[in-house]
Amino acid sequence: MSSPPDSPGPEVPGPSGLTMAMTLRDFARGPIPMIEGLQARFGDVSRFRFAGSTMWQFGDPQLIEEVMLRKAGEFVKDKITHELDDLVGQGLLTSEGELWRRQRKLAAPTLQRRHIQAYAEAMVRFTRAMTAEWGEQSDRAFHHDSMELTLRIVVKTLFNLEMAHEIDRIGRAIEDGMDAFHERVHTMWRFIKDYVDPPLQPVHNRAVETLDDVIGELIRERQRDQSPGDDLLLRLIQARDDEGHAMSDRQLRDEALTIFLAGHETTALAITYALYLLANHPGAQQRVHDELDLRGGDLGANAANDLPYLKAVAQEALRLYPPAWIVGREALVDVEVGPWRVEKGDQVIIPTFVVHRNERFFEDPLRFAPSRWLDGLEKRLPRFAYFPFGGGPRVCIGNHFAMMELVLVLATILGEYRVEDLSESAVELDPSVTLRPKGEVPLRFVRRA
């Protein structure tokens, strides 16, 4: 790691000498200490050399808006994101250019509000099936429970399956693939992986083979049997572009896997962190219980609008622990961002986790305060001060699905149970593609009187 050559524009802050050593020390501790350290030492803009690339970190919403929205066409996904290509292929997460534009136009309608409302019943039903096993009191390794729950939900909504052995295999394969990704980009193997295969490379290869086999067969079965249904896979199969062409089998595989990945772990994390926060803030939890008791009745697709405080809890959990904790871009051409010149090939870090905790935008930013969202805060914030689902043309197309699922699952659990934290210390983070907890999140669920 070293300071890059000067470029036109104002002098760019960045680590050198002692601060370079401090940044290296931070990286050894993990990527979050690194991005927090850069923000603390240099502010909203920093530039440095790392792993053979010139890196920029932008923490100012106006600069982020330039990269993600106003000049989005001058950037592509960064090198780290494209490390996922071998696993998820060329779905919406990783594809670029004309392919991405075509696929987004085909896939986006499948997740519009009018389509996803049909999934509310399955979300509530699977959550009730989970809590039915808890009895009067149950101590849970809850992140595991949450992952299993969202797996069942995404399997139902994507493939119209209640559960199957093949789907268990997909879940394990994705987990193996994510572990291998973490090894390649967030450990010292990042610096030598081009010369020596990391230890988990064979695990990664087996995961790709499994995903190709299982998802490929599910696609072929649905192509043979196109009986009416609400599943996303059928909508993807039946989608046509402006010339009347359907997706290829490979593209169906990549988009199905991308939806599977995005709709599984990210939502599970949001549910886990929201319950962890409520367990540590009994006043906020009681307010949720009161709101649920006052509303009563069955929960439906409009739960987020019917339960404003619970929606605020979800928003606050996504602020403090955004599952998509970082955004990466690479400059396609030399481009001006603010007064600075970002050169072709430069890598850009947009640290969502850090921006969401900036005191310029959020009073007492480390405090869990759902009520901050009840007075129109989101409309007053700069556009990219709060962006848990990304933004610009590459905003997550499943954001409405995810928020509906998050609120419905929380409402179903908290309508029946009070939650307590069993951990002896604050949750530790283990960021990879998503903002995972390090180890389990032990929670106790006690049936409400």
What phi and psi values does residue 234 have, to the nearest 5 degrees?
-60, -40
Among candidates 72, 77, 38, which has minimal Cα distance to 58?
38
Assigned CATH for 51-447: 1.10.630.10
Beta strands 347-350; 53-58: pairing state: parallel
User: What one-character DSSP code corresponds to residue 187?
Assistant: S
Q: What is the dihedral of CA 407, 281, 312, 310, to 10 degrees?
A: 40
Task: Report H helices in 193-328.
Answer: 201-224, 232-238, 249-279, 282-295, 303-306, 308-320
The amino acid at 337: V
| Residue 396 assigned as binding residue | yes
Contact yes or no for 190/184 (Cβ under 8 A): yes
What phi and psi values does residue 40 have, to the nearest 5 degrees?
-65, -40
Across the beta sheet with 137-141, the strand order is: 137-141, 442-447, 417-421
**What's the pTM value of the predicted model, to 2 decimals?**
0.92
Q: Could you list the pLDDT tens digit for every one of the 449 residues in the chain?
A: 444 444 456 788 888 877 878 887 777 788 899 999 999 999 999 999 887 889 999 999 999 999 999 999 999 999 989 988 888 899 999 999 999 999 999 998 888 887 788 899 999 999 999 999 999 999 999 999 999 999 999 988 988 887 666 777 888 888 898 888 888 876 776 777 777 888 888 998 999 999 888 888 888 989 988 888 888 999 999 999 999 999 999 999 999 989 888 888 999 999 999 999 999 999 999 999 999 999 887 888 888 889 999 999 999 999 999 999 999 999 999 999 999 999 999 999 999 999 999 999 999 999 999 999 999 999 999 999 999 999 999 999 999 999 999 999 999 999 999 999 999 899 999 998 899 999 999 999 999 98
CA distance 396 to 230: 21
Is the backbone of residue 438 left (phi > 0), alpha (psi -120 to 50) or beta? beta
